[in-house]
Structure 1
Amino acid sequence: MASEPIDDLAGGHAGVPRWQQALLPGAMRAAPDGRRSARDWFVDVLMFLLALGIGALLLAESWDDHTTATAAIDVVLGIAATIALWWRRRHPVAVAAGSGVLALAFAFPAGAALMAYFSAVLRVRVRALVALSLLGGGASITFPLLYPSQDPTSTEIAFGLMLTVVVLGWGLFVRVQRELVRSLHERTARAESEQRLRIEQAQAAERRRIAREMHDVLAHRVSLLSLHAGALEFRPDAPPAEIAEAAGVVRASARAALEDLRTVIGVLREEGADGNGAAAPEPPQPTLAQIPALVEQSRATGTRVGCRIDLAGLDGATVGDALGRTAYRIVQEGLTNAHKHAPAAAVEVAVVGLAAGDGAARTERGPSADGPRLVVEVVSRPAVGMPPPARGEMLPGAGTGLVGLRERVALAHGELVHGPDARGDFVLRAILPLMGAGR
């Protein structure tokens, strides 16, 4: 009769420390390889000792009913049944059935039969379990009949049946516990897999969205560059001042286009709704200039928002549209998180330009960098004495906003950090290098 192991948790407890995995059954470890764990060895030794002890006790009680030959056979069969317990995990039905049949007529194998029956309860199907339970009940009846003692036969039969029921109940309890652990593990693994999938989808969607945003800007830069280069080609006799002016425009357009191209490179564009590869038209995208309007929108909701935009440290360097959009999205995400998780907090928005070699004193927090850069920081300060909002009062979120923001900052070759600082304020800070500056 085939068996169906139910405690095989392949791939199991990857998050469980190694010393704790040693206390788990071998099949429930992170990488089951067929080897016994420390717990398995302990259980094996304990079962061998119990099987030998119970068998020896029953043999001693029925010794007077044995001849020398039958006693020797009883001992040999009992030792063989105890040794067979080594294979009870791989062949639970065969080991339990074989030792159970021997226990119908012999005393020493009864201890091994009881241990094998408990092990089979953990692993076999219901039909096999019923058959093994009937076999165990039969042994509880035949043993007092073959080896009567001073106690009434009915008492011994009742005790044997009760012992079989206790072992059955205990085994079913352990079985349910293992099934519960397996279901919880599978649920956790499925949740982790779904979360990884959501993060990957958010990253891919952010890449595609950035590519769509860059399409119109990059095309505009290249068209301007082509237009002025064409003017230089068809008017070689133009005055030197006009040639110099056109060359300057070409140089500026090429620098801006290179900055946009560095942002987009490696990003795959999604086919448009028409299926011909053309991206669907998008509305004009916000830049650095729209941050004050974004702050005013938050103020209109009652949020206390301070805003400081200081680009004087850039020494005349300009912030491109691509970098401005990234700064805008950082401020937008910071204000959104403040609205969701700390509606009563005071928010400070700082957009500061730092020149090459300048320290980070202007932001009071950010690290230094080599080249000119833009530091965008959103600090949320909880109100003093105001308890945090209850979970039911917080606005729901998918948890992928910061994932997309990190992807956007990485594409701008910047650095993003977020989390509480030493004062307990939540800080969202990005350091964005000006890629085209000084080139």
Structure 2
Amino acid sequence: MDDLCARRARSRRADLVAMTAIGIVSAATIVGRHVNGESSWLLVLDIAVGLAAVGLIPFLGARPVHGAVALGVLAALSPAATPPSNVGTLTIAHRRPLRIALFGTSAAVLGHFVQNLWRPIQGLDLLWFVVLDVAVHAALLGWGQWNQARQALLDSLRERALRAENEQGRRVAEARALERTKMAREMHDVLAHRLSLLATYAGALEYRPDSSPEKLAKAAGVIRGGVHQALDELREVIGVLRDGEIDELPSGRPQPTFADLSSLVTESRDAGTVIRYDQVVSAAESLPPATGRTAYRVVQEGLTNARKHAAGRPVTLKVQGEPGTGLQIVLTNPGGDGVPLTPGSGTGLVGLTERVQLAGGTLDHGQGGDGEFRLRASLPWPA
């Protein structure tokens, strides 16, 4: 509200200044015409027309077409209306399209032509007056149209700059959100794997209390170490979700590679999972790092789901491939009894499918007619 009042006050001051300046010019015109001793009634007419023309100046902003035409009519009656009429021509040329501006300019040209017919300027031929009249109004029309085009260009550039800035901000926000989602999914895979291992060891302690003290102590040590790792990984997840501008994981741990598959399988075997692991991969060192990391996550998610939904049952893992033919991963395990070892979000395979698709591969999963659950992934491996 205060800003609107301030703009209105500035507009009123601008109108007052314009009226004062144009009034002075009109008064000078009247004085110049009556120095030669024109009739007194013409002086009265000039003063009245001059006052009326100056009084129309504030209305040009709201109704430039009507104001310009009215000033053209007043210009036909008295030269005192010539300065305000020129302002009206410039205003309509600046604020209206060329077709409408031509109409208002033609009214002003015609008004000055009529004025010169009955009140000619001494020493100036009618033909030359017409030439000057058209030239002056054409210049005013061109100036106004140029200002209009320049203002439109500036508005367009300003709008494009604002739109580009908003678009850049949106892209940055989307990139941050995508990175946060990607990192959160990465940590979900790690946490799910770690917690399922802890649940397996805890289950062994619960159902085998008669184990030797050495085995109990070893299992308790594994659980303690796993809890510490899980807490560190959970802290990283919280950091990722809390800070939208984080660029790397707080721990700085390297991403897993295809070479870490053996360690992953060994870790699961140590937790009590029976795994038949068959790997036939040629030139594994040429496998792209991104593909190897995706393969690791596929196996990790498959082993995690096997422990959660089919605890204590054997798992078969086959990994084969070579450059040019791609990398195939098939993980099978018997179906569970419907009671998972640990609760899950149900989105692990959904995120895994998206991860594989982003890597250019395909992922199929489901339970077959023989009751076995199969997880099959195919990843590209260029030659």
Under a length normalisation based on structure 2, what TM-score does the superposition of the two structures give? 0.56
Q: Give SS of 1:104's match.
A: helix
Q: Which residue number corresponds to residue 95 of structure 1?
A: 67
- Structure 1 letter corresponding to 2:159: E
- Structure 2 letter corresponding to 1:92: P
Question: Deviation at 1:46?
Answer: 5.7
Preserved contact between residue 26 and residue 80 of structure 2 (Cα < 8 Å): yes
RMSD: 3.3
| Counterpart Cα distance in 2 of 1:226 and 1:153 | 107
Q: Which residue number corresponds to residue 220 of structure 1?
A: 193
Q: Which residue number corresponds to residue 105 of structure 2?
A: 133
Q: Are 1:237 and 2:210 an aligned pair?
A: yes
Q: Are 1:77 and 2:45 an aligned pair?
A: no
Q: Give SS of 1:149's match.
A: coil
Q: Does 93-102 or 48-57 show the bigger shift?
A: 48-57
Change (3 A) 1:258 1:233: same
Q: Are 1:250 and 2:215 an aligned pair?
A: no
- Structure 1 letter corresponding to 2:49: L
- Structure 2 letter corresponding to 1:199: V
Percent identity reads 32
| Counterpart Cα distance in 1 of 2:92 and 2:177 | 50
Q: Which residue number corresponds to residue 117 of structure 2?
A: 145
Change (3 A) 1:237 1:263: same
Match of 2:254 among 282, 288, 306: 288
Preserved contact between residue 64 and residue 91 of structure 2 (Cα < 8 Å): yes
| Counterpart Cα distance in 2 of 1:287 and 1:266 | 15
Preserved contact between residue 65 and residue 147 of structure 1 (Cα < 8 Å): no
Question: Deviation at 1:186?
Answer: 1.3
Question: Deviation at 1:69?
Answer: 4.3
Change (3 A) 1:32 1:161: farther
Change (3 A) 1:266 1:67: farther
Preserved contact between residue 69 and residue 108 of structure 2 (Cα < 8 Å): no
| Counterpart Cα distance in 1 of 2:48 and 2:54 | 10
Preserved contact between residue 144 and residue 157 of structure 1 (Cα < 8 Å): no
Question: Deviation at 1:43?
Answer: 6.0
Q: Which residue number corresponds to residue 155 of structure 2?
A: 182
Change (3 A) 1:143 1:60: farther
Q: Which residue number corresponds to residue 55 of structure 1?
A: 26
Q: Unpaired runs of 5+ in structure 2?
A: 242-251, 260-288, 290-383
Change (3 A) 1:65 1:254: farther
Q: Give SS of 1:182's match.
A: helix
Q: Quick check: which one's helix share is greater?
A: 2
Question: Deviation at 1:98?
Answer: 1.8
* Count of matched residue pairs: 245
Change (3 A) 1:168 1:289: closer
Q: Unpaired runs of 5+ in structure 1?
A: 1-30, 269-285, 294-331, 333-439
Preserved contact between residue 198 and residue 226 of structure 2 (Cα < 8 Å): yes
Preserved contact between residue 49 and residue 77 of structure 2 (Cα < 8 Å): no
- Deviation per CA, 1:40-86: give whole Å up to 9, x if none: 68864664344224422432344368654453343233223223322
Question: Deviation at 1:94?
Answer: 2.4
| Counterpart Cα distance in 1 of 2:4 and 2:150 | 19
- Deviation per CA, 1:337-392: give whole Å up to 9, x if none: xxxxxxxxxxxxxxxxxxxxxxxxxxxxxxxxxxxxxxxxxxxxxxxxxxxxxxxx
| Counterpart Cα distance in 2 of 1:191 and 1:37 | 34
Q: Are 1:169 and 2:142 an aligned pair?
A: yes
Change (3 A) 1:32 1:290: farther
Q: Give SS of 1:79's match.
A: helix
1:197-212 alignment to 2 at 5 Å? 197-212=170-185
